[in-house]
């Protein structure tokens, strides 16, 4: 149930009264009451910089900064208005210095952490895809998204003086987020973009925007309380293709960052603006039998069942050398997978895909039935005609290599397992299934030559050896987290540097101190 944040309302009313010279606000001039949902906000702290941050020259919450104009806390119906407000917020953020950026990051991470259970539930209720436990983890994991510390300037010193290359902000970024992780993608985008000094305007997925609007409002309320900046992370309510086009065209928007499937990637590329595109994938796994098969099975079940296989990096099809097929299958079942028989696979396939005629060159192209995307294994089991045991994490079955479940990014907790005769055949089929997205791939092997051959052939952005896909994002492997992996345009796993312009500052002949 929604609760009203009284301290915040008091703050805002005081602010408005101050601006009106003490006059009683009217309905037209006073901001609407803050809708905080049942979200918890962090306690208001002093304007002291966070531990480890540099003291800033201007107070974090500058009284001279332009006052919050619209009282919407980042939520806008009009895309152009949002872009303008974000531009003002960008200027205000620059005034608050590095300490201001650090404060925003601290707030966003804390809010995701303390509200993880509630926000995960809200997102799941709206989207009806994925798993609550993993949605909670995806919000708590925002702590692993890097911040300002990632922006180490590059320095040169020589006979002709010194040069510094710095990572400067763009200004306002237009961002599109997916239905598969709406709040987590928005949160890590805000952390990376603000760490680099930018403001952002989001167009969320129409099926996952209410939760994003709720979270954006809470983020902006907290930022406003601490720093006096109201619209640093704006969002359009409701998002439409028109609002996307308006954001893309707006003069304040310097670059786009889109996270989603082929449609939005194509739209962003056509926009005329530079676009950072975190596009689709269909990650294959190769198991060559040289490593522990039980470990491989455990990793595969963990990765492919995560959030019901909604992750773009998630294991989507497995190629295993023939002699090890039975042992791998037994391992998958041991670790929580349920094996479907051929009749059950056929029933599931008929419901999971449609084959509209008229697409493709004489050969119908499979289209994923979105009603089954991200559903629980027991739901898919019932569609297949079987009641799977409680606690089943994943469905598995043997399929041929050209099966739609192998070739399409289906985002369901059903994993096709394909027997192959050789490592060469496995690599060739994995490359075909990955379809040139250059997204992610996994291998379970102790043979360095096999690892190298697969890495070279698939040329993916993420390549994980002997771990689950999540190891590629720091969960079980080394590395930082982001839910936007810029595969299509090549920036890789997004981080603060992704959202910067490199500027060089040259001092000729002087300032070298030796």
> Binding residues for ligand NAD, per CB under 6 A?
176-180, 204-206, 241, 244, 259-261, 263-264, 267, 278-281, 312, 409, 483-485, 487
Residue 29 beta carbon to ligand NAD: minimum distance, rounded to whole angstroms = 34
Nearer to ligand NAD, 285 or 293 (CB): 285
Tokens 């303390």 belong to 114
Cα 497 versus chain centre, distance = 16
Interatomic CA distance for residues 94 and 60, integer angstroms: 11
Taking CB atoms, the residue at the shortest distance from ligand NAD is 260
Q: Of 206 and 360, which has the nearer Cβ to ligand NAD?
A: 206
Give the shortest CB-217-to-ligand NAD separation in angstroms.
18
* Cβ proximity of 208 and 182 under 8 Å: yes
Cα 196 to its chain centre, rounded Å, is: 17
Output 157 or 245, the one with its CB closest to ligand NAD: 245
Question: With respect to ligand NAD, which residue has the nearer C-beta, 49 or 184?
Answer: 184
Q: Is the CB of residue 223 less than 8 Å from the CB of residue 229? A: yes
Smallest distance, Å, CB 278 to ligand NAD? 3
- H-state helical runs in 46-181: 79-114, 116-127, 132-140
Return all residues near 14 (Cβ < 8 A) that are at least 6 apart: none
Among residues 88, 80, 65, 78, the alpha carbon closest in space to that of 15 is found at 65
Tokens of 252: 């304040």
Residues 273/257, Cβ–Cβ less than 8 Å: no
Least distance in angstroms from the C-beta of 369 to ligand NAD: 13
**Whole-Å CA distances, 298 to 251, 308, 454, 476:** 50, 16, 21, 13
Q: How far is the CB of 489 from ligand NAD (least distance, A)?
A: 10
Least separation in angstroms between CB 279 and ligand NAD: 5
d(CA 405, CA 385): 18
Nearest CB to ligand NAD, comparing residues 319 and 483: 483
Cβ 501 to ligand NAD, closest distance in Å? 22
Nearer to ligand NAD, 119 or 224 (CB): 119
For residues 484 and 109, give the distance between their C-alpha atoms in angstroms, rounded to a whole number: 17
Closest CB to ligand NAD among residues 31, 184: 184
Which residue lies nearer to ligand NAD by CB, 241 or 364?
241
Closest separation between CB of residue 124 and ligand NAD, Å? 15
- Given the DSSP bridges, would you call strands 161-169 and 154-158 parallel, antiparallel or unpaired? antiparallel
């Amino acid at each position: 149930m929604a609760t009203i944040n009284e301290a915040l309302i008091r703050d805002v009313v005081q602010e408005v009264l101050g601006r009106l010279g003490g006059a009683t606000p009217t309905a037209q001039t006073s901001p609407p009451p803050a809708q905080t949902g049942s979200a918890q906000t962090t306690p208001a702290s002093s304007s002291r910089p966070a531990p480890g941050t540099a003291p800033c020259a201007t107070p974090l919450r500058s009284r001279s900064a332009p006052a919050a104009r619209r009282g919407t806390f980042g939520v806008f119906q009009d895309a152009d208005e949002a872009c303008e407000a974000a531009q003002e917020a960008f200027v205000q953020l620059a005034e608050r210095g590095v300490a201001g950026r650090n404060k925003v990051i601290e707030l966003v991470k804390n809010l995701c952490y303390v509200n993880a259970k509630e926000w995960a539930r809200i997102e799941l209720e709206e989207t009806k895809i994925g798993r609550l436990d993993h949605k909670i983890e995806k919000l708590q994991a925002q702590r692993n998204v890097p911040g300002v510390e990632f922006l180490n300037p590059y320095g040169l010193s020589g006979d002709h003086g010194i040069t510094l290359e710095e990572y400067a902000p763009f200004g306002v970024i237009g961002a599109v987020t997916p239905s598969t992780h709406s709040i987590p993608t928005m949160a890590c985008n805000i952390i990376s973009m603000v760490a680099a000094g930018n403001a952002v305007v989001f167009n969320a997925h129409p099926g996952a925007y209410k939760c994003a609007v709720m979270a954006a409002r809470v983020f902006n309320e907290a930022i406003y309380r601490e720093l006096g900046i109201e619209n640093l992370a704006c969002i359009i309510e409701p998002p439409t293709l028109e609002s996307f086009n308006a954001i893309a065209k707006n003069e304040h928007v310097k670059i786009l960052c889109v996270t989603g499937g082929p449609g939005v990637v194509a739209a962003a590329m056509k926009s005329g603006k530079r676009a950072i595109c975190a596009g689709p994938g269909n990650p294959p796994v190769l198991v060559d039998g040289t490593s522990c098969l039980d470990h491989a099975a455990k990793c595969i079940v963990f990765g492919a069942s995560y959030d019901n296989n909604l992750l773009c990096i998630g294991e989507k099809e497995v190629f295993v050398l023939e002699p090890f097929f039975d042992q791998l299958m037994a391992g998958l079942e041991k670790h929580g997978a349920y094996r479907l028989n051929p009749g059950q696979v056929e029933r599931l396939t008929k419901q999971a895909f449609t084959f509209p005629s008229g697409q493709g060159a004489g050969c119908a192209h499979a289209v994923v039935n979105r009603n089954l995307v991200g559903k629980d294994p027991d739901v898919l089991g019932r569609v297949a005609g079987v009641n799977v045991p409680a606690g089943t994490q994943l469905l598995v079955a043997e399929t041929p290599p050209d099966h739609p479940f192998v070739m399409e990014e289906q985002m369901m907790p059903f994993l096709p397992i394909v027997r192959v005769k050789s490592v060469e055949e496995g690599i060739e089929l994995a490359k075909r299934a990955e379809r040139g997205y250059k997204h992610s791939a996994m291998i379970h092997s102790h043979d360095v030559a096999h690892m190298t051959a697969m890495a070279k052939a698939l040329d993916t952005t993420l390549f994980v050896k002997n771990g689950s896909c999540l190891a590629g994002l720091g969960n079980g492997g080394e590395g930082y987290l982001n839910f936007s992996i810029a595969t299509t345009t090549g920036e890789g796993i997004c981080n603060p540097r992704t959202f910067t312009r490199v500027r060089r500052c040259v001092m000729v002949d002087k300032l070298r101190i030796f």
